[in-house]
Amino acid sequence: MLLEEALAIVLKEYRTEKNLSQEELADKCDLDRTYISLLERGKRKPTLSVIFNICNSLKVKPSVFIAKIEILLKDKI
């Protein structure tokens, strides 16, 4: 599994857990909805500042968000 794929899974999981549409999350993050869609499809690599911005909007610690990505990567290697 690629890093982008793992990030996509975790991002979508948190977004749906918070009952947010891609558009709602994008508005909270001041990002474009298509960018959120691209992230959730594993088509983009976000910067660290974007990850922190998204985590802040989702009310999740970036360290927890990254830890979930690490678990997915470890499980799929």
Per-residue model confidence as pLDDT tens digits over 35-76: 999 999 999 999 999 999 999 999 999 999 999 999 999 876
The answer to whether 36 and 22 are in contact (CB under 8 A) is yes
Look up the pTM and report it: 0.91
What structural domains and CATH numbers belong to the chain? 3-76 (1.10.260.40)
Q: What is the DSSP letter of 59?
A: T
Helix (H), strand (E) counts: the chain: 5, 0
Per-residue model confidence as pLDDT tens digits over 10-29: 999 999 999 999 999 999 99
